Amino acid sequence: MSEQNKTPQTLQEWQDLAASLKIEGRAFINGEYVDALSGATRPTINPADGQELAQIASCGPEDAELAVKIARKTFESGVWSNMPPMERKKIMVRFAELIEQNKVEIALLESLDAGKPISDTMNVDVPGAVTTIRWTGEGIDKIYDEVAPTGPNELALVQRMPLGVVAAIVPWNFPLSTTAWKLGPALATGNSVILKPASNTPLTAIKLAGLAKEAGLPDGVLNVLPGPGSSLGKTLGLHMDIDCLTFTGSTEVGKTLTEYAGQSNLKRTFLELGGKSPNIVFADADLDKAAEAAALAVFYNQGETCTAGTRLLVEKGIAKDFIEKVKKASERFVPGHPQDPNTVMGALIDQSQFDTVEFYVAKGLEQGAQLACGGKPADAVAGGHYYEPTIFTGVNGDMTIAREEIFGPVLSVIEFEDEAEALQIANDSIYGLAAGVWTKDISRAHRMAREIRAGSVWVNNYFGGDITVPFGGFKQSGNGRDKSLHALDKYCELKSTWIDLS
């Protein structure tokens, strides 16, 4: 392991390390790596070159039934749910330390599995997961229950109780980060968890399960089931003995999971879904800084980001010059091999996502938008799916590319006359996940931040924030919040106890 944690410095060194990895592809149930009960497997594919990375257990309804039964039994045993918060904290902090100690291997698994640049997985994804697990663990013994104000003959207690069995379904674009966002608060509050990673990016979730056991997490508290959403995800959504479902992914799937909750036991269902985020630039902004951020906002992570600033709203008087600045800033997002430390934009996840990007680019041209740059596949690595940074101008709010989530490196530029029109365009969306506002006028900044219907508004920056602030959306971008102390509330029941002392 020590050899694997010497940080490679070149593409060849990363590829040599990848060739030496022994990738675990089994499910994790009751503290052990196991095959799917059916014995079925499916390949996980490297988006960089289309080559198979490993065979992964393909779990089905029967595996879900087993995992739920074990998770429930473990929860009711109290081995974790009744463990003093200070003791749970020690295990959570140790879990974070083990992730950090294995950061090179975990970063490589994430890059191989998701097509993300290794520089991002090393410097953003893994450190973020470490911070989330450590911070949430550290916080759990500092959250106090309450004593309500009563007369002298009564005592009223308000206590936070763990929900029970939590099913967490995470996406393929940020599999490690979102897994940490779910596991941190769900485990810290004493729940048992069944984690279903996206079927095409299971590797880091499977790795984390073993590290959690090594940290001291009791068997049965965390179970990881790789498998298809159509059968496994549906089973979890409809299961009568799961108390909470937390999901990050598309709005379409989120609606389906909500229906499953209603059809079954009304399980708590928390959703972080799609976005079509506006990034609004006024004429008085620092235009150079705003242009660099506008390119990052849409091209980071190949555009496969729910908060991506895919609608760039620009005040008309500066639009022409500002678009040129954004085009210039986009030139550094040259698609390249994900394991090359110099790469800033990697591969799209698979052929289906590549086809989706192609479809929307064609739709933009068909509806009259003009290409300022890009609009075609990139020639990066044979067998992979790469796409050039693409900017459309002449876009209006009725165009498909201005309304639907593309999940690729495609930017739509929309011009506006004044603050009122900018606000109207920004809110003209079924989504409300995030937004950016660029202005030196502090009063305008506050007005816009207040009136934009989005869960996160970034002023004179994009992607700002850390573990201390909540993350989630308005409207069809979901409900509930990940991150911050507010996330702990998602995984607790409030119990009121009223005692007569007379």
For 194-218, write each residue's pLDDT tens digit.
Answer: 999 999 999 999 999 999 999 999 9
Q: What is the rounded average pLDDT of the residues 122-135?
A: 98
For the chain, percent of residues with pLDDT exceeding 90: 98
Q: Is pLDDT of 3 > 50?
A: no
Catalytic-labelled residue, pool 24, 105, 110, 272: 272
In this structure, of 113-117, 204-208, 229-233, 493-497, the range with the lowest mean pLDDT score is 229-233
Q: What is the rounded average pLDDT of the residues 102-125?
A: 98
Q: What is the rounded average pLDDT of the residues 174-188?
A: 98
Q: What is the rounded average pLDDT of the residues 305-331?
A: 98
Closest C-alpha among 476, 428, 425 to residue 455: 476
Q: What is the rounded average pLDDT of the residues 64-76?
A: 98
Q: Is pLDDT of 2 > 50?
A: no
Closest C-alpha among 42, 192, 179 to residue 106: 179
244 included as an active-site residue: no
492 included as an active-site residue: no
Closest C-alpha among 314, 292, 263, 308 to residue 417: 314
What is this structure's pTM?
0.96
For 15-36, b/e burial (b = at least 16 CB within 10 A) is bebbeeeebbbbbbbbbebbeb
Q: Is pLDDT of 11 > 70?
A: yes
Residue 155's CB is within 10 A of a number of other CB atoms, namely 14
DSSP annotation of 303 reads: G
Q: Is pLDDT of 186 > 60?
A: yes
Beta bridge partner(s), residue 315: 416
Residue 1 confidence (pLDDT): 40
Catalytic-labelled residue, pool 59, 244, 306, 492: 306
**Residue 44 near residue 200, CB atoms below 8 Å:** yes
Q: What is the rounded average pLDDT of the residues 302-324?
A: 98
